[in-house]
Chains A and B, each alone.
Chain A
Amino acid sequence: LDEFLHSLAGSPSPAGQDPHGWRAGVDCVRANELCAAEPSCSSRYRTLRQCLAGRDRNTMLANKECQAALEVLQESPLYDCRCKRGMKKELQCLQIYWSIHLGLAEGEEFYEASPYEPVTSRLSDIFRLASIFSGMDPAASSKSNHCLDAAKACNLNDNCKRLRSGYISTCSREISASERCSRRKCHKALRQFFDRVPSEYTYRLLFCRCTDQACAERRRQTIVPSCSYEDKEKPNCLDLRGACRGDHLCRSRLADFHTNCQASFQSLTSCPGDNYQACLGSYAGLIGFDMTPNYVDASTTSITISPWCSCKGSGNLEEECEKFLRDFTENPCLRNAIQAFGNGTDVNLSPKSPSLAVTLPPKTDKSPVLTDDINDSNTIYDTSIITTCTSVQEHGSKLNKSKEQSLCYSETQLTTDIMPDQKTFVDQKGGSSLHWAGWILPFVPTLLLLLAL
C-alpha cells in the first residue's frame, strides 16, 4: 500500500521517465550541467549572464556579443528546461531559468510563462488519497465543520501536525510591543508547510467547504493572516507585483499562478485545461511570499480571495492594476476550483480526448476512476452520477444509494456557476458528437433541474 500511496501522492517522477523525450523533462539544474560539459554552450551561457547582470533587455540586446549568446542558447537544453515545485535546489533551478528567460521576455509582460513543469495529477487523486487516509466521507458529514475535520486529519498525522504547529507557533510568536511577529520567519514556516505536507492535508485546511461563519473564520485563519497576510498599510498591487518580481521564487510562483489559474473562456470550468489541481497548487504555492493570497472575509456565501493590496494610487496604470487584482478577486477558475475541492468533485474527463492522453501520467492507467467508459452505462442520467461521483467514492467505504445522490447534487452548485460558458462551449465543439457527449454528460443533472423548475 505504501508504494501505491507514494505513486499517487504526486511525487515528481524522475526526468528520465518522461515519454516525450528528454528535453521536455529535463530540469534547469541538469540542463546547466549538460551545458557546462559543452565548451561552446558554457562560454555562451557565461557571456549571457554577464550581459544580463544589472542591465535591461534592450541595452543587453544592443550588444552584438550578447545577442549572439542568446541565439545560441536558444538551441541548447537550457532553453526549454523547467523546474519542479519543492525540488532540491529549487532556487538554483529558477535562477538558471530566469537568467535565460529574462533575456527572452519582451520587457515587462503582464503575464509570464510558468517556469514549473505542468501539473499532471488531478484533484480526484487527492480525494482518493484523503479517503484512504482518514476514511473521509464527504456525504455523511454535510452538517459538520469541514475545516475542523481538516484540522483533525492534520493533527492525527505526525508530519502535518509538526509542520502546522511549526508555522502556527512561529507566526503567532510576538517579538515586541511594536512588532507583532517575524513575518519573514512566518512566511518561511508557511512555505515549508505547503511544500512538504501532501496536498490532501493542506488543501483540506485551505479550501474546506463552509456553511457557517465559525467554519469560514477558521478557514480564513488557516495561514495566520494577522502575521502572514495583513500589514499596517495596503500597498498598491502593481508595486507589490514589482517587489515580487524582484525575487526569483516569488516571481516564479506568481507566473505559475497566472499560467494555471488564468480564467479561460474556452474551457467548461474556466480553468486552463480544466485542471483544478494545477490551479489550487499554484494558489497554495503563493502562500509565504509577498503575494500571499487569502480569503478577505469569513463569508460563507461568496468566496473572495485577494493578496494584501489595493489599486489606490495607481495613477494612469489603474486599469492594469484592476486587471491584476481581478485575477484574484473575480476569477471564475479559482473560485470554481475552490468550490470543486470543497464539494469533493472533479471535472470528469473523457478518456478519448487526445490532449488528455498527453497530460495524464502513465500511473493513472491502473486507476478505474479516470477510465470510466461513458458508453458502457445504461442511461444518460446514471452515467453522469457515476462519472462525477466515483472520484470521491473510489476506495472509500461502501456508500449507500442515498448518500451517493446527496453527494452528487452538490455538483450542481458548481455547475450553475459556470453555466454561461457552457453555451459557448457547446457551440464550439458541437461538431463532434463523441466529444459533445463526453463534455455535456456531467451537466445533465443541472439541465434536468432547470427543466423541472
Chain B
Amino acid sequence: SRRKRARVRHKPCALKELEVSVSELGLGYESDETVLFRYCSGTCEAAVRSYDLSLKSMRSKKRIKKEKVRARPCCRPLAYDDDVSFLDAYNRYYTVNELSAKECGCV
C-alpha cells in the first residue's frame, strides 16, 4: 500500500473535475445550480529545466536572497473554459468567465 500511495503522489500535472454548487465557489453568488469545476493538479518533476536547477543553486549560494523566486515548475491552467452562466436564488442571471481550467501544463 505504501508503494501505491507513492505512485499516487507522483501523478503528473493533469486536468481534474469536480461538481460543485455555485454558492460553494465562494464568489458571493447565491445559487443552487451545479457547475462543473475543472482544475489542474499534479506534479511537474518531468518539467524541471536547467533554469530551475540553476535558480536553486543561486539561491542556495545566497546569490539571490530577498526576492521571491520559484525554482520549480508549477501545474497551472494553460487555457480557461468558456463562460459559465447561471440563475441565482433571486432569479437573476450571471455569467462568470475564466472560472474553470480547460488545459493544464507545467509552467
Contact = CB atoms under 8 A, between A and B. Distances in A.
Given A148-B32, A152-B34, A172 B86 contact: no
A145 B94 CA distance: 20
Contact of A164 (B32, B85, B91): B85
B82 to A, nearest CB: 5
A151 B95 contact: no
Contacts of A172: 85, 93-95
Given A156-B19, A172-B93, A221-B91, A165 B32 contact: no
A217 B91 CA distance: 8
A165 B87 contact: no
Contacts of B93: 168, 171-172, 221, 224
Nearest to B92: A172
Interface residues of A, number: 19
B36 A156 contact: yes
A156 B81 CA distance: 13
A57 B58 CA distance: 88
B91 A155 contact: no
Interface string B16-35: 00010000000000001111
Interface size class of B (residues with CB under 8 A): 10 to 19
Contacts of A145: 32
Interface in A92-108: none
Contact of B36 (A161, A217, A218): A161
A168 B33 contact: no
Interface in A216-255: 217-218, 221, 224
Contacts of B82: 161-162, 165
B85 A169 contact: yes
B33 A169 contact: no
Interface in B10-54: 19, 32-36
Nearest to B33: A151
A362 B25 CA distance: 47
A276 B19 CA distance: 33
Interface string B47-80: 0000000000000000000000000000000000
Interface of B: 19, 32-36, 82-87, 91, 93-95
5 contacts: A156-B34, A165-B84, A165-B85, A169-B83, A172-B93
Given A161-B84, A168-B95, A224-B93, 15 more contacts: A148-B32, A155-B35, A155-B36, A155-B84, A161-B35, A161-B36, A162-B82, A165-B84, A165-B85, A168-B86, A168-B93, A171-B93, A172-B85, A172-B93, A221-B91
